[in-house]
Structure 1
Amino acid sequence: MANSGGGMIVYGITESQKTATGRVDIGEFTEGHERAYRSAAVTAISPPVFGLDIHRLGTDARAVAVVVPASVDGPHLIYKNDLFGAPIRNDADTAWMRERQVEAMYRARFDERRRASDALGSLYEEAASGRDVRKRAWLVAVAHPRIPAVLRRPDRDAAGSIFNRAEPIALSYSNRNGVHPLENIDRFNLRPGLRRWTAVNSATGERERWKEAWAEIHHDGSVTLAAAVGGHRMSADGYLGGWQVEGRGIECCVADFAALIRAVAEGNALDQFEVQVGIEWAGDEPLQILTVDGTGHVYDGVSTPLRRFTPVRANINAAGSDEDFHLGVFQLAEDAVNQGGITYLHVMTKPSEEASSND
């Protein structure tokens, strides 16, 4: 099914001559059975098949439907000792791919990856354009689904519900000890754009402009976030330099960005996303990422000056478990702050650490 563009497998159906003729009870299907099924899709198939959607149907005559998502990682192979094969669905039968079919699927996989990389780069350039990066550093984060959503135009209320859903998700990854860009956008008055909805900056006052932020959700499932992270306010009338970026601010941006991805994925049944997070700064001073000392005050004693921030790229599964997705978000933020010589995160915690603190 994964090698054939996805499909559905239904257990609990009798058939004759490839035609469904009735129902049959499959027996009990527990969470243990479901875990074993998902495990087989991951451990017995290479590359693994993620994102199975399993539904239990009926009570008297019980059935199970397994929705297999379309995959861009074909061909998916089955190994037996030193031998392998690539099965493909042909109507109601399963056949084995010939060498030329395998070759064509590998070529399609590599072409897709190149297109996804180009699409991600274009999104990043667009999100970064027009920012005053000579005055202050900007964090730019973009995500593009490996398999885009069916292009449809959600209305303003549907798009707004995604932004509303994202805020509590972000706070499940992080605390409020930093500036969250989702709190500085107007998610109640979204504006239409080219196949997207834009949440414009709401920090427009003279004393609020230091925390400017913009976010977009595209009709194909792509997500962009741009937030000013340099020159943040230190006190009532004191500000950091435009080249100075708090690590806590980066963590908050990554948490909010990831929460938007999770919320978009939930509403569009998306799974794998290619993401890129970067910091744009074009001033004369080297970029500096700041941590905090034991009293919670900004501290620059361990920062490594950066002439250029290397954008962080990753692939995350937005349809995975909460813990797995949270861990991926944590590692994304960690990669970003580590570039500036900072070891520890102060706003986000690893899922395991959070779980142990709640026990």
Structure 2
Amino acid sequence: MDDLDWKKQLPTFVPKPGIWNEFAKDVTAMANTRGGLLVYGVSDDIEPVGINLAAVNEQQLTQTLRNGIQPYLSGVEIIPLPAPGGGGPDFLIVDVAPSELAPHFQYGWEQKDKDRATFNAPYRVGSDTFYMSEHQVARAYQERFSRQERAETALAELVQQAASVVVGESNPACTWLVVAGRPSRPVPRLVPAPSRAEAKNTLLDGVKTAARLHNDPFGVRRVLSDRLNNAMHVGLRRWVDSNILVPELRSSQAGAMVELHHDGGVVVCVDLSHPLPSQIGAAMVDTSTLPTAVGEAVAVIDTHRRRRQLDSTVDITAAIVADSLDGSEFRFLPFGYGSGQPRPIERARQPLRVLPATTELPPIADDEVLQATGKELIEGLLHQFGINTY
């Protein structure tokens, strides 16, 4: 099998001229094929012999991959597996996800020509490892670029579809934040869809995570939980919560919509407008609400990704959209709140268009990564107004 490899001993890291690092080679080969598991502590005859977990240096393993593989390979999980109760052999599992950035190259040194640096692109066929020839490398690059183009197109369509829904269902004067996340390897359609209760819990837990990440345990600055009642409705291969789509559920709160797609995708839409007086020809943008809304969107995206058991990166786009009543040109006008009253931000830019901000969420995202992801999107939008703090 090309997705499973048994290893009797832990990898060694003693540098030897002319010898490839076996650990980096095995991980790269699996990432370049279709992913798989490296199991340390099992002989070639598939006999459990165990390893010494105390001798495992995860930092050294990670550093070997970081320094010896290009481009950087994310989605590798190192899992110690001690025997229950300590009465049997221990194992180490290295879980390698198939990479959307394949081909990956393993770097090393050869003794020929004065110890020159060289590289190869390993891949697996059954239980054997081979190195890609020139035409295989070219084909792998073509497949990578095609995957990226398809992913970018699908994400852009997700944003456009959501924007058309919220703009069409709301007051034409409304300005919307649309945040969409789409996994690079969506959940196949044959996988059972989440239940209504599971979708509700995903949204609630995502909002709670955002409050914790932004040091707001009491939810003072929450957006989605204030505007939505967590009444999930069925949609086209998705669950939808909104206060604008169903007439009976419309409220006095500003508009919001959340879509949790069965394939792992997420859409979060938040109305950022306010009817300030004497602002004809301007699309109002509440820049004080925007950071909280983006932070909640990122947290919901990650929560839904984990609940759907996805181990792939998630591409995220955040856009600000509005509709003009008569099709005439208008400017996006940022405003905040002073003394509890909305007011335009002085000396801020008023762009004719706000470009989408994009980023990606890695397969394994801790609190620091989630905060950095949200910050990148927030700054990508606010900087276009000349605002560098929030």
Give the Å deviation of 1:94: 1.3
Question: Structure 1: which 5+ residue stretches go unaligned?
Answer: 346-359
Paired position in structure 2 for 1:136: 174
Alignment map for 1:1-359 (pairs within 5 Å): 1-16=30-45, 20=46, 22-29=47-54, 33-57=57-81, 58=83, 59=86, 60-80=88-108, 81-130=116-165, 131=167, 132=170, 134-151=172-189, 152=191, 153-174=193-214, 175=216, 176=219, 178=221, 180-187=223-230, 189-201=231-243, 208-231=251-274, 243-267=283-307, 268-283=309-324, 285-291=330-336, 298=343, 300-345=345-390
Deviations 1:175-209, CA, capped at 9 Å, x for gaps: 4564512432232x311111111112279799954
Deviations 1:42-93, CA, capped at 9 Å, x for gaps: 3321122212233222233110111111111100101125311001112222
Please tell me whether the aligned partners of residues 291 and 342 of structure 1 are also in contact (alpha carbons under 8 angstroms). Answer: no
Could you say what the CA RMSD is over the residues aligned between the two structures, in angstroms?
A: 2.8
User: Which ranges of 4 or more aligned residues in structure 1 deviate by more than 4 Å?
Assistant: 176-179, 202-208, 238-242, 291-299
Please tell me whether the aligned partners of residues 177 and 248 of structure 1 are also in contact (alpha carbons under 8 angstroms). Answer: no
Please tell me whether the aligned partners of residues 177 and 321 of structure 2 are also in contact (alpha carbons under 8 angstroms). Answer: yes
Please tell me whether the aligned partners of residues 74 and 363 of structure 2 are also in contact (alpha carbons under 8 angstroms). Answer: no
In structure 2, give the amino acid aligned to 1:263.
T
Question: Structure 2: which 5+ residue stretches go unaligned?
Answer: 1-29, 109-115
In structure 2, give the amino acid aligned to 1:158.
E
Calculate the TM-score normalised by the size of structure 2.
0.78
Please tell me whether the aligned partners of residues 179 and 297 of structure 2 are also in contact (alpha carbons under 8 angstroms). Answer: yes
3-state SS in 2 of match to 1:15: coil
Please tell me whether the aligned partners of residues 207 and 224 of structure 2 are also in contact (alpha carbons under 8 angstroms). Answer: no
Paired position in structure 2 for 1:348: none
Distance in 2 (alpha carbons) for counterparts of 1:177 and 1:78: 49
3-state SS in 2 of match to 1:70: coil
Give percent identity, aligned residues only.
24
In structure 2, give the amino acid aligned to 1:302.
R
Calculate the TM-score normalised by the size of structure 1.
0.85
Question: What is the number of residues matched between the two proteins?
Answer: 335
Distance in 1 (alpha carbons) for counterparts of 2:310 and 2:259: 18
Distance in 1 (alpha carbons) for counterparts of 2:208 and 2:313: 22
Task: Give the greater-gyration-radius structure (CA).
Answer: 2
Please tell me whether the aligned partners of residues 186 and 264 of structure 2 are also in contact (alpha carbons under 8 angstroms). Answer: yes
Distance in 2 (alpha carbons) for counterparts of 1:308 and 1:206: 32
Distance 1:127-1:44 versus aligned 2 partners, 3 A rule: same
Give the Å deviation of 1:282: 2.8
Deviations 1:254-311, CA, capped at 9 Å, x for gaps: 0111011110121123331111111112335411122456999755113211211111
Deviations 1:107-139, CA, capped at 9 Å, x for gaps: 100000000011011101110013146311111
